[in-house]
Amino acid sequence: MANSAVEIGIAHAPHEVPTSFELGKLGMWVFLAGETMVFGGLMGVFILVGISHGGWGSDGAHVNWVLGAFNTLILLTSSLTAALAQGAARVQDSPRAKRYLSATALLGVLFLVVKAFEYAGDFRDGFTPLAALFWSFYYVMTGLHVLHLLAGIVVIFGLTFMVTPRTPAGWLERKLKYVCLYWYFVEAVWVFLFALVYLAPTAG
């Protein structure tokens, strides 16, 4: 924590009182706590409604879990590149951090492209949001996740364009910490969505 306190002391004007807490990080965690309630609430209702209906039956069996698994692999890899970008920023290698950041955003775009193909296939087969309760949940939960991912991609691309070889390493490291925290959270949400919406309905 001492290092964080020093960071705050440097980042702010001298007249401001340095805190023992990194406020940006605290704010991001408060935001993620709210997001957890949103996604957790949706997932909880999905599970309870599924139980009350005796499972999702044949509706749930039509999801393309192989494409879902491929998308999970893409997101896992994007988190790896995000972690590598953080590592590069920590050793003050801004150009390498920028390359890894770009890779992270591009993998996010690839996830969206695969998801678009998946949605198109579902629509073509008649599985629209109004086809059944399962599909309503499916589109709301995965759609909300897509919106979060999209926001992450925009921020990461924005950060990528702001990074130059002269970018102060401390600044980049701090920004990356918050952005990557959000990105990892979006990945963790997807891990549960994949288990809940793709694997569980097709199991057994």
Partner 1 sequence: MEQTEFSVSDSLKTWGLLVVLLLIGAFAVALGLPRSLALWVIFAAATAQAYVIGRYYMRLRSEDVLIYTLALLPVVTVIILAFVLIPDIAMHP
Residue 13 carries which DSSP code? Answer: -
**140 counts as binding partner 1 under rule CB under 8 A:** no
Contact of 112 with 150, CB cutoff 8 Å: yes
Among 73, 147, 151, 162, binds partner 1 (CB under 8 A): 73
Site string for partner 1, 86-125 (x = CB under 8 A): xx--x-----------------------------------
Write out the E strands in the chain.
none
- N-to-C CA span, the chain: 48
Site string for partner 1, 25-64 (x = CB under 8 A): xx--xx-xxx-xx--xx-xxx-xx--xx------------
Q: Nearer to partner 1 by C-beta: 47 or 120?
A: 47
d(CA 104, CA 77): 8
| Segment contacting partner 1 by CB under 8 A, of 10-18, 68-76, 112-120, 131-139 | 68-76
Closest by CA to 201, choosing from 78, 68, 76, 73, is: 68
Q: Nearer to partner 1 by C-beta: 75 or 146?
A: 75
Q: Nearer to partner 1 by C-beta: 6 or 154?
A: 6
Distances (CA, A) of 53 to 27, 113, 132: 39, 33, 12
Distances (CA, A) of 1 to 8, 15, 19, 22, 25: 11, 21, 10, 8, 12
How many CB atoms lie under 10 A from the CB of residue 32? 17
Contact of 73 with 182, CB cutoff 8 Å: no
In the numeric block, which tokens belong to residue 47? 């599970």
Minimum CB–partner distance for residue 19 and partner 1 (Å): 12
| Segment contacting partner 1 by CB under 8 A, of 83-91, 121-129, 152-160, 164-172 | 83-91
| Segment contacting partner 1 by CB under 8 A, of 131-139, 140-148, 149-157, 185-193 | 185-193
In the numeric block, which tokens belong to residue 150? 């999209």
Size of interface with partner 1, in residues (CB under 8 A):
53
Question: For residue 42, which phi and psi values (nearest 5 degrees)?
Answer: -60, -45
Interface residues with partner 1 (CB under 8 A) are 1-4, 21, 25-26, 29-30, 32-34, 36-37, 40-41, 43-45, 47-48, 51-52, 65, 69, 72-73, 76-77, 79-80, 82-84, 86-87, 90, 180-181, 184-185, 187-188, 191-192, 194-196, 199-200, 202-204
